[in-house]
Chain A
Amino acid sequence: GAVVSQHPSWVICKSGTSVKIECRSLDFQATTMFWYRQFPKQSLMLMATSNEGSKATYEQGVEKDKFLINHASLTLSTLTVTSAHPEDSSFYICSAPTGNIQYFGAGTRLSVL
C-alpha cells in the first residue's frame, strides 16, 4: 500500500509555544490530505481537509487560527498548533487518499506542559 510519513512522532512543548507537524505522502501525490485528532480511548475526529495550493477546509468547531494548515506541495501538508495550551495535548494523525483509500501517518503525540 501507499506510505504516509508523519513527523515528529512525539513532541513536548511549553504552554504558549507553537508546534509544527509534518505529513508527507512518500510514493504518491496527494492534492488532499486530512488531519484528525484522537483523544485517549476515543475514535478519530476529523479536524480539517488540507488542499494543495489553496485554503484548508475546517470542520465545525475547529479553530482555524489555532490549527494552521499549509499544503504547499503535492506531497507535504503541515499542521501548526499555535500558542499551544495543555488542553491541546492529544494524538494528531494525518491521512492522504489515493484512489478510494485513505492511508494514515503514524501519528504525533503532543504533550503541552
Chain B
Amino acid sequence: AQSVTQLDSQVPVFEEAPVELRCNYSSSVSVYLFWYVQYPNQGLQLLLKYLSGSTLVKGINGFEAEFNKSQTSFHLRKPSVHISDTAEYFCAVSVFSGGYNKLIFGAGTRLAVHP
C-alpha cells in the first residue's frame, strides 16, 4: 500500500531563515505528488504539484519542491520564510484506487515562524 511520511511534525524557524519540510512516499508505480497548506479553520490550498517533467517544481508564495525518484522524496523548501507562512503543511500522493484517483496524505508538518 502506498503511504506518505512527513518526517517532522513541527518545524520552528525564525523569520527570513530558509526552511525545508521533508516528505517521503512509498510507491512502486509512477506517482503524482502534491503539497497543500492549511491555515487555521480553513480548507487546503494547493502550493505545488509534480505530475511529470522537471523534477524541480515551483509553487505559490515562493515555495519549491524537488522530486527525487531514487530517494522517493518530495521535500518542500523556501529560501526565506515570513510570519504569514505559519500554517500546517501536508504532503500527498495521488493513488488510483476503487476506480478513482484518491489522495493519501501525510500526517502534516506544523511550520511555526517566529519574529
Q: Which residues of chain A are within 8 angstroms of B100 by Cβ–Cβ distance?
A: 32, 49, 57
Partner pick for A44 among B34, B41, B105, CB 8 A cutoff? B105
Count of interface residues, chain A, beta-carbon cutoff 8 Å: 26
**Which of these, B43, B49, B108, B110, contacts A93 with CB under 8 Å?**
B43
Rounded to whole angstroms, the CA-CA distance of A97 and B96 in the bound complex is 13
Please report the C-alpha to C-alpha distance between residue A12 and residue B48 in the assembled complex, in whole angstroms. 34
**Do most interface residues of chain B lie in helix, strand or loop, or is the interface mixed?**
strand
Q: What string of 1s and 0s marks CB contacts (under 8 Å) between A13-38 and chain B? A: 00000000000000000001010000
Interface with B: A61-69, A74-82, A100-108, which one? A100-108
CB pair B101 A44 closer than 8 Å: no
Closest A residue to B104 by CB, please name it: A46
